Structure 1
Amino acid sequence: MAANASQIAALREQGKQPAAWVLVSFIGRIANEDNGFTVYARPDRDYDWRWTVGLDLIAFARRGQAVAASLKAIRNERPKSLSLWDVDRKSGAGVYFDYPADIAELCKRARGRTMNIELMPWFSWQEREFLKMGF
């Protein structure tokens, strides 16, 4: 598990979960961290992301970091929402599955957990609101 993920997993085992979003940092310490629910991960490592089911997550990364595989692994565990915040560009995007049009192909990819991801850029007002929170 990524650093700090075990405390969230333990909380989940008690039937509880964080009230706000969980931050997944691929960049180390984040300025103005919220409530202590920040998980630290490295994009070049594989982690157990099962604890993310049903949670709101925001991943922090820098321009050029290879985080797509990590985002895909997280998305495969079905969090309530997953967003990516580019700390260099100061822009965000929602992370969604790229669903194939063919139903048979969709079922095959879903069973094999080989769904691709698609980034949907945030609106400018969403980015402004996020920046107001100190990020």
Structure 2
Amino acid sequence: MASVKQCQAMKVKFSNNVQATISVKLINGDGEDPADVYGNISGRFGIGSQFTLFDKSQSQYIEVRPGEFIPLERDEVVVPGEASELEITAYLMDYDTLSPDDEIANGKAVFLVKSAGTSDKKPITGKYGSIEVNVVWG
């Protein structure tokens, strides 16, 4: 059984956690409307805390119009108390039936952990397109 001191320490640690709400908007999908999007978007806080936001194979592509949000597997994550930054990595492609597939996004965006009530957005580009990652801290 935990002592009172141990319980208080745990409470302090969890009360320092911040929640991050993540959204990803398609800005340009190779000029297509809609784009047939597949690939991977993941995030992490430091080493060893990676999580998946989007993971679709080529045969599982989804239609997304420019300006629309890409549906994520999850959009809220609890930021560990010791974390100082959130890294979002994206590798997204546009499926094409008759021609080679086109790279929409390939890279990462790094966000410094901020206080609740603030937000930040950053682009991730690819050879033929781009996305915008938005993080709201709460």
TM range (shorter): under 0.3
TM-score by length of 2: 0.26
Question: Which protein has the bigger helix share?
Answer: 1
Larger RCO: 1 or 2 (CA < 8 Å, sep 6+):
2
Question: Which protein has the bigger strand share?
Answer: 2
Q: Which of these two proteins has the greater Rg computed from alpha carbons?
A: 2
